[in-house]
């Protein structure tokens, strides 16, 4: 049972490491949950100070513990696959740097939103896009496991 509770908690945050710019935009546990989920969890009973403490814990958890759980807990992996957008980046694709646009085979267009560069010389351009616990999207190049923050353009 504790493992299932841990998996459910990890599924709630469902995230990659927190980027500093995302912490400023963190909506808190109340903003991450639907009104029904928030009520069902009994969180409306918390004082503002208790809710603030929970939000601070959630940020720390998201940054340090959730990424490891995402890799190792099978229940979390299953949830992630269920909600992931999977496609391939149209060629030519050589990786990303600064504000790269990703034109996917499924017709979607995504733009890099976090800094970083990654050069790729392979042929497999399969990607998986998931939403992290802060509500931001991450694109993973499946062939290498490298990730970058993205936002949907189309």
- 104 within 8 A of 90, measured Cβ to Cβ: yes
pLDDT given at position 34: 84
Nearest 5 degrees, angle CA 19-CA 70-CA 110? Answer: 50
What whole-number distance in Å separates Cα of residue 139 and Cα of residue 137?
Answer: 7
* pLDDT higher than 60, residue 41: yes
Inter-axis angle of helices 48-64 and 2-13, nearest 10: 90
Q: What is the pLDDT of residues 45-93, one digit of tens each?
A: 999 999 999 988 888 777 677 666 666 777 766 666 667 789 999 999 9
What whole-number distance in Å separates Cα of residue 28 and Cα of residue 139?
Answer: 23
Q: What is the pLDDT of residues 111-120, one digit of tens each?
A: 999 989 999 9
Q: What is the pLDDT of residues 4-38, one digit of tens each?
A: 444 444 444 443 333 344 455 677 888 888 889 89
| pTM of the predicted model as reported, rounded to 2 decimal places | 0.52
Q: What is the pLDDT of residues 120-144, one digit of tens each?
A: 999 999 999 988 766 788 999 999 9
| DSSP collapsed to 3 states, 72-110 | HCHHHHHHHHHHCEEEEECCCCCEEECCCEEEECCCCEE
Inter-axis angle of helices 74-83 and 2-13, nearest 10: 30
pLDDT given at position 80: 64
């Amino acid at each position: 049972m504790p493992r299932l509770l841990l998996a459910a908690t990890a599924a709630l945050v469902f995230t990659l490491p927190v980027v500093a710019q995302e912490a400023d935009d963190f909506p808190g546990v109340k903003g991450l949950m639907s009104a029904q989920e928030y009520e069902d969890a009994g969180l409306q009973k918390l004082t503002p100070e208790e809710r603030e403490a929970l939000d601070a814990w959630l940020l720390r958890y998201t940054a340090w513990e959730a990424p490891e759980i995402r890799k190792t807990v099978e229940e979390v992996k299953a949830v992630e696959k269920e909600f992931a957008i999977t496609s391939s980046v149209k060629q030519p694709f050589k990786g990303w740097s600064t504000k790269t646009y990703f034109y996917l085979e499924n017709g979607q267009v995504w733009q890099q939103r976090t800094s970083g560069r990654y050069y790729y010389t392979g042929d497999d351009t399969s990607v998986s896009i998931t939403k992290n616990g802060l509500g931001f999207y991450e694109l993973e190049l499946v062939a290498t496991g490298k990730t970058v923050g993205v936002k949907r353009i189309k």
